[in-house]
Amino acid sequence: MLSFQRMIARWRAHSNHTPLSPTLINCWHDSPKLKKALWKQFDFLVVDTETSSLHPQDGELLSIGWVVIRQGSIQLNSSRHLMIRPSQSVGDSATIHQLRDCELNEGITEAEMMTQLIDAAQGKILVFHHASLDLRFLNAACQRCLGGPLLLPTLDTLQIEKQRLERRNQPIVQNALRLGSCRARYNLPIYPAHNALVDALATAELLIAQFSHQWTKEDKK
Amino acid sequence: METTAANMLSPELKNVGDFLAECIPFEQLDQKELYQVAAMMEVEYFRSGHVFKSDDDAGGLRILRSGAAELHSSDDRLIDRFGETISFNLMGLGQEQPGIRAVLIEDALIYRLPEDAYQQLRQRHREFDRFFHSQRSRRVRRAARRETNPSELMKSLRDLMSPQILWVLPATSIQATAHAMTERRFSSALVMDQSPELGGKLLGIITDRDIRSRAVARGISFDTRVEHIMSKDPLRIAAEGTLFDATLMMTQSTVHHLPVIDNGQVVGMITSSDLMLARRDDPVFLVQHIRRQSRTEDLKSISSALPDLLVQWVHAGVRAPQIANVLTAISDAITQQLIKLAEAELGPAPVPFCWLGFGSQGRGEQLLGGDQDNALLIADHLSPSDANWFKALAKKVCDGLNDCGYDYCPGDIMATNDQWRLTLTDWKATVNRWMRSPTADAVMRVSIFFDIRAIHGDASLCSELQKHMLQKTRGNSIFLAALAENVLERSPPLGIFRRFVVEHTGEHEDQLNLKKRAVIPIVDIVRIHALAQGIPEVNTLARLQALAQTKTMTIGDSRNLQDALRVIQQTRLEGQVQELKNSLPPSNYLNPEHLPKLVRKQLRDAFSVVVDAQKIVKLHYRPGL
C-alpha cells in the first residue's frame, strides 16, 4: 500500500517537474516494517502537532512535539518541541492551543521543522493519536518543502484502541477514544493542559501500554 | 557543570519535573539539577504481575509514576508494598537481600533513571545517597520484624550495660579477687594488664563459678595467682550490639558475663541478670505483673507508667496494630484483676456472668486516653437479691478503672448503669427493640454494642448474645440502610483537589481529628459489611480479612482499607508520642503541615481509600436513597 502510494508520488513529481527531495527518498528506503510481537526491537517517533484550524486549507502548523521510543522505553532526552513561525496571526485559535503570536514569531520556518522531523523519523515508525488530523497538515507541509507527501509507516493509537474496544464488543461512547479516556483504561496518570510535546509523550505512554497489553507475552517468572 | 539544551528537560515537559519534585528524595535537588535528571529518565510500562528480578535486572532507579508494586524476599515474604512516587533500586536491594524481587500488583508506568546516572547522582549528593542507604536497611529491618516480637530486643547494649568494671591484675591472688568481688557485689571480675582507662588489654575473666569449681572444689591455694584459674581470652560483645545479640551469644555459648567493647576498649559489662531486668518493660511481663497485684493503688501505678512505655515501644519500632493489641491486653488484664479483687471482697458470684467490653476495647484497638465502654451480661434466672451483688461489682470495677486512667464513659455506657446490667434474655430483648425501630439512637447503640468481646467470666454467654445480634443484622436491609446513613455521615477530611480539610476555628484550628474523621469512618464502614454478612470478628483488621475470605470484598479493597487504617493509626500514634514527649496529654488532633511530606502523601492516599469505600457502602446499602 505504502509502496504503491510512493510510486504515485514519484510519478506525480516527475510529471510536474518538481523533483522529490533526496532526504525524503532516503527516509522512505529506511522505513521499517513493524512486526507487532517484536515491537520492542523497533524504534518509534511519537508525534503530536498543534494547528490553527482543523483543515490545511485555512490553517497551518503552529508547533510540533515528538519523543522517541527505543527498546520499549521512552527516551525523554529525545524529546523535542518546535514552534513554527506562522504566515498569519493565529487569532482566536490561541484559546485552544495556548500559543500566542509573540511566542510563535520566535519559531523556525516550516522547512526547517520538516528537515528536523525527517531526520528524527529516519528508520522509525511514526505514531500519532488520531493520525489523520496531524498527517493532513504534515503531508501538506512535506509536499511544499520536500516535493511529496510524508508516506512513512504510521501507527494510530486511536485506531488501535478503537479496534480493541470493537474486538471486545464494548460500545464506544462519546469521548471514549480521546487521549485522556484511552489512557485511563491503562492506569496511566492524568496530565495537565496540553502542548504538543506533552501530548506526544502521553501518546507514547499509551502506545507502550497498548503494546504491553496486546502484544507482549508476560513471562511470569 | 556546563549544560546544553540537549541534556536538559524541555520546559514543555514541566509535568515530569513537577512529578519528580514530589518524590522523595528528589525534592532535595534544585530545579536545574532536577530537570537534568528528568531528561535522563526513560519511561516504561508494565502490566500487573510483571516481575523484576534482582539477578537479571537492567539496573537503575525505578520510580512508580502510576500503579503499585510489592517487594518480596527470596523465600517469598512480603517486605514492602508501595505506590506512586516511591522508587526502588533492585540492584542495591539485591546486594542486601539476594533474590529479592519486585512484583507489580497494578499496571504501572515507571520512570527509570539508568544505573550509571543513578550512581553519579548518589555520588554527587550525600543526602540523596543516604536516603537510599537508609531506605534499604529500613526495608530489610522491616522484613526482619515480621518474624520476632521486636519490642525490647532491639535495645542497644550501650544503654543496658553496667559501665562499672571490676578489674584485677593477673598476679592478684584468688582470695584478693574474691574479696574485691564480694566487697563491690560483683559476680565477675576482668583480668587486665592495666586499667581500662589507660587502654588496658583484656586477658581473661573470672566469675563466682570459676572460683567455686576451679579453686575451692579442687583445693587450690587461695594465694594462687588469679590468671591460673581465669577463662582466657573471653567472649566479648560490641557496644553497638543489641539485647538480642547479647541474648543470642549467651545462650549459644552458655556464658553469663560478657565484657562490652567499644573501639577495642572494655567499656562495660553485661550479665544475664541485666538481660532479665531489661525485659521488665516487656508487655508479656507487664501483663503477668498486673495479675500479681492485690490493691487498686498498685494497678494504678502500673497504668500510670503506660505513657512512658508507649513512647519506648513506638521508638523501638512496634507498629500501631501491635501497640493497640498490647494496650488492649493490659486494659483487659487490669479489668480482670479488678473483678478478681472485687470478688475477693464480695464473695463468689451468685450466678454465672460475663463482663463485656465494647468500642475500641471490644475491637482490641485501644490506644491511650480511651474511655470505658463496658457492661454486664448475667445468666438468666437472677433473683432480685443477687442483683445487688452485680451492682456492687460494677461499682467497684468501674471506679477502679477510672482510678487507673480509664475515664468514666461520658455516654454512661458502663456496667454501673442499670440499663447495661442485664440478663441474657433482657439483652436479647434490647437488641430486638433496636432492630425493630432503627431510630438514630438505636443505630448509635448498635455501632457501640455490636463490637462486643468477653473480657472476663463466662464467654459462652457473650458468644450466645453475639450470635443473636448477627442473626438479626444479617441481610436485614432496612436496618442496614439506617446504619449506612450513619456510616456516611462522617467523611474523611479531604477536600476537592485532595487538600486536607482542617478545623477553621477554636482550640484545634488548622488541625485534623484523625480519630473522628478517619479511624471511625473506617471502623464504621467495615462494621456494616461484617454485620451484613454475619461475620463474628470484631477487630477491624480481622473483619477485613474475613470479608476478603468470604469474597464480600475484593482482596484489593480489603488490603487497601487495612493499609489505610494502619497508616492512619500509625500517624495518630506517632502524634500522641510526640505530645507525650512534650508533656501534653495525648489527643487525636494533628496539624498536617507539621507532617513529613511522605506521611502527608500516605495520609492523603489513605483518606481517598476511605472516600471510595464510603461510596461502595452507599451503593450497597442505600441504593437510590
Structure confidence by residue, pLDDT tens digits, B25-41: 787 788 888 888 888 89
Specify the amino acid at residue A97: H
Handedness of CA B616, B619, B622, B625 (dihedral sign): positive
Nearest neighbour of B42 by CB, restricted to A73, A197, A209: A73
Q: Where are the domains of chain B?
A: 5-145, 157-276, 282-467, 479-621
Task: Please list every residue in chain B whose beta carbon sits closer than 8 Å to the beta carbon of residue A188.
Answer: 45, 66, 109
Four-way CATH pick for B282-467: 3.40.50.970, 3.40.50.150, 3.30.460.10, 1.20.1440.230? 3.30.460.10
Which chain A residues have a beta carbon less than 8 Å from that of B51? Answer: 220-221
Q: For residue B156, what pLDDT is reported? A: 77
Confirm whether A220 is domain-assigned. no
How many other C-beta atoms are found inside a 10 Å radius of the C-beta of residue B53?
Answer: 14
Residue B229 has pLDDT above 80, yes or no: yes
Query: What are the contacts of B468-471 at 24+ separation with CB within 8 A?
Result: B468/B428, B468/B431, B469/B431, B469/B531, B470/B531, B470/B534, B470/B535, B470/B536, B471/B534
CA B491 → CA B283, B607, B609, B611, B615, distances in Å? Answer: 35, 9, 11, 7, 10
> In this complex, is the C-beta atom of A108 within 8 Å of any C-beta atom belonging to chain B?
no
SS3 call for B371: strand
- Selected residue of A78, A103, A106, A218 to mutate for chain B interface (largest B Cβ count, 10 A): A218
Other Cβ atoms within 10 Å of B223 Cβ, number? 9
Higher-confidence residue of A76 and B438: namely: A76
Phi, psi of A65 (to 5 degrees): -130, 145
| Structure-model confidence comparison of residues A97 and B533, the more confident one | B533
Element housing B303 (H / E): helix B296-304
pLDDT in tens, B542-572: 999 999 998 888 888 888 888 889 888 888 9
pLDDT digits (tens, 9 = 90+) for B307-337: 878 887 787 677 788 888 888 988 999 999 9
Q: Which residue of A has its CA nearest to B56?
A: A221
Q: What does the pLDDT average to over A62-77?
A: 93
Share of chain B above pLDDT 90, in %: 28
State yes or no: pLDDT of B352 exceeds 90: yes
How far away is chain B from the Cα of A204, in angstroms, using its nearest Cα? 9
The reply to whether A176 touches chain B by the CB within 8 Å rule is no
Which chain B residues have a beta carbon less than 8 Å from that of A213?
47
Q: Is residue A54 part of a domain?
A: yes
Q: Do B42 and A75 touch (CB under 8 A)?
A: yes
Q: What is the CATH number of domain B157-276?
A: 3.10.580.10
Q: Does A209 touch chain B (CB under 8 A)?
A: yes
Residue type, B203: L
Q: Confidence class of residue B353 from pLDDT cuts 50, 70 and 90?
A: very high
Could A197 and B40 be called an inter-chain contact, meaning their C-beta atoms sit closer than 8 Å? no
- Of the partner residues A186, A188, A192, the one whose CB lies closest to the CB of residue B15: A192
pLDDT at A162: 92
Query: Which chain A residues touch B16 with a CB distance below 8 Å?
Result: 76, 201
Q: Looking at chain B, which residue has its C-alpha nearest residue A213?
A: B47
Q: Flag the least confident range among A37-41, A55-59, B130-134, B328-332.
A: B130-134
* Contact call for B12 and A65, based on CB within 8 A: yes
pLDDT tens sequence across A12-31: 888 887 788 888 888 888 88
The whole-number pLDDT of residue B339 equals: 94
Mean pLDDT (chain A) is 86
Tell me whether residue A219 is in a domain.
no
Residues from chain B contacting residue A43 (CB–CB below 8 Å): none
Contact A198 B12 (CB under 8 A): yes
Residue-wise pLDDT for B68-93, tens only, equals: 888 888 877 777 777 788 888 888 77
Query: Best-predicted range by mean pLDDT among A168-182, B36-50, B79-93?
Result: B36-50
- The cell for B413 is 455506657
Chain A: residue whose CA lies nearest to B65: A189
* pLDDT value at A92 more than 70: no
**Residues of chain A contacting residue B74, judged by C-beta atoms under 8 Å apart:** none
Of A75, A197, A218, which is closest to B50 when you measure between CB atoms?
A218
Which has more pLDDT, B116 or B97?
Answer: B116
Contacts of A195 in chain B (CB under 8 A): 12
For residue B204, the cross-strand partners are B191, B232
User: Do B83 and B64 touch, CB atoms closer than 8 A?
Assistant: yes
Least confident of B129-133, B185-189, B513-517: B129-133
Residue A131 belongs to domain spanning: 2-214
C-alpha A22: how far from chain center: 22
| Whole-number pLDDT of residue B467 | 94
A195 contact B CB<8A: yes
Q: For residue range B500-543, what is the model confidence (pLDDT) as tens digits?
A: 777 766 777 778 888 888 899 999 999 999 999 999 999 999 99
**Nine-digit cell string for A165:** 474496544
What is the maximal distance between C-alpha atoms in chain B? Answer: 97
Let me know if A191 is exposed, middle or buried by CB neighbors in 10 A (0-12, 13-18, 19+): middle
**B225, exposed or middle or buried, with CB in 10 Å at 0-12, 13-18, 19+?**
middle
Assess contact for B219 and B190: CB atoms under 8 A. Answer: no
Interchain contact, B15 vs A191, CB within 8 Å: yes
Within 10 Å of residue B520's Cβ, how many Cβ atoms?
Answer: 17
Closest to B330 (Cα-Cα) out of B349, B356, B304:
B304
CATH number for position A19: 3.30.420.10
Q: How far does Cα B13 stand from its chain's mean position? A: 42
Rounded to a whole number of angstroms, the distance from the CA of A93 to the nearest CA of chain B is 19
What average pLDDT score do residues B220-228 get? 91
Chain B touched by A216 (CB under 8 Å): yes
Q: Is residue A178 part of a domain?
A: yes
pLDDT at position B314, please?
80
- Residues A61, A137: contact at Cβ < 8 Å? yes
Best CA proximity match to B528, nearest among B459, B453, B588, B438? B438
Q: How far is it, in rounded angstroms, from Cα A154 to Cα B144?
A: 52
Please count the residue pairs, one from chain A and one from chain B, whose beta carbons lie less than 8 angstroms apart: 81
Contact between chains at A77 and B39 (C-beta distance less than 8 A): yes
| H-helix or E-strand spanning residue B601 | helix B597-621
pLDDT at B397: 94
- A72: closest chain B residue by CA: B44
DSSP characters for B270-292?
EEHHHHHHHGGG-HHHHHHHHHT
Interface mutation target, options A70, A71, A76, chain B, most CBs of B under 10 Å = A76
pLDDT at position B1? 35
Using CB atoms and an 8 Å cut-off, which of residues 26-65 of chain A contact chain B? 65
B72 interaction partners in chain A (CB closer than 8 Å): none
Determine, for residues A74 and B42 on separate chains, whether the beta-carbon distance falls below 8 Å.
Answer: yes
Amino acid residing at B37:
V
Strands B68-72 and B101-104: antiparallel
- What is the per-residue pLDDT for B183? 87
Model pLDDT, residue A193:
62
What's the pLDDT score for residue B335?
94
Residues from chain A that touch B109, judged by Cβ atoms under 8 A, are 187-189, 205, 209
Number of domains in chain A: 1
pLDDT at A173: 82
Are the C-beta atoms of A144 and A60 separated by less than 8 Å? no
Is it true that domain B479-621 has CATH number 3.30.2220?
no
Q: How confident is the model at residue B298 (pLDDT cuts 50, 70, 90)?
A: confident
| pLDDT band for position A211 (cuts 50, 70, 90) | very high
The three cell numbers of residue B436 are 425493630
Selecting from B10, B39, B106 the residue whose C-beta is nearest the C-beta of A187 gives: B106
The residue of chain A nearest to residue B9, with distances taken between CA atoms, is A77
B interface with A, Cβ–Cβ < 8 A, is: 6-7, 9-10, 12-13, 15-16, 38-47, 49-51, 53, 65-67, 101, 106-109, 112
Residue A7 lies in a domain: yes
**In chain B, which residue's Cα lies nearest the Cα of A63?**
B12
Could you tell me what percent of chain B has a pLDDT over 70?
91
Name chain B contacts of A50, Cβ cutoff 8 Å: none
Choosing among 2.60.120.10, 3.40.630.10, 1.20.120.1770, 3.10.450.710, the CATH entry for B5-145 is 2.60.120.10
Separation of alpha carbons B396 and B117, rounded Å = 69
Which residues make beta-bridge pairs with B42?
A75, B112
Q: What is the pLDDT at residue B3?
A: 38
Whether ipTM > 0.95 holds is no
- Residue B455 reports pLDDT greater than 90: yes
Select the residue from B3, B18, B23, B45 to test the A interface by mutation, using most A Cβ atoms within 10 A: B45
Q: Nearest CB to A187: which of B16, B50, B66? A: B66
Interface with B, mutate which of A75, A187, A190, A194 (most B CBs under 10 A): A187
* CB atoms B50 and A213 under 8 Å: no
| CA pair distance B594, B604, nearest whole angstrom | 14
Report which secondary-structure segment, H or E, holds B18.
helix B14-22
* B533/B470 Cα distance (integer angstroms): 8
Note whether B63 and B85 are within 8 A (CB).
yes
| Angle of CA points B473, B477, B480, to nearest 5° | 60
pLDDT number for residue A221: 37
Q: What is the DSSP string of B336-368?
A: HHHHHHHHHHH-S-SS-EEEEE-HHHHHT---T
Instruction: Tell me the chain A residues in contact with residue B49 when contact means C-beta distances shorter than 8 Å.
Output: 218, 220
Q: What is the pLDDT of residues B360-405, one digit of tens each?
A: 899 999 888 778 999 999 999 888 888 899 999 999 999 999 998 8
Grid cell listed for B492: 474523611
* Cell, residue B563: 493499609
Distance from CA of A168 to the nearest CA of B (A): 19
How far apart, in whole angstroms, are the C-alpha atoms of residue B407 and residue B403? Answer: 8
Write out the H or E segment, with its range, that includes residue B501. none
> Given an 8 Å threshold on Cβ–Cβ distance, is B107 in contact with A186?
yes
Q: How far is B62 from chain A (nearest CA, A)?
A: 13
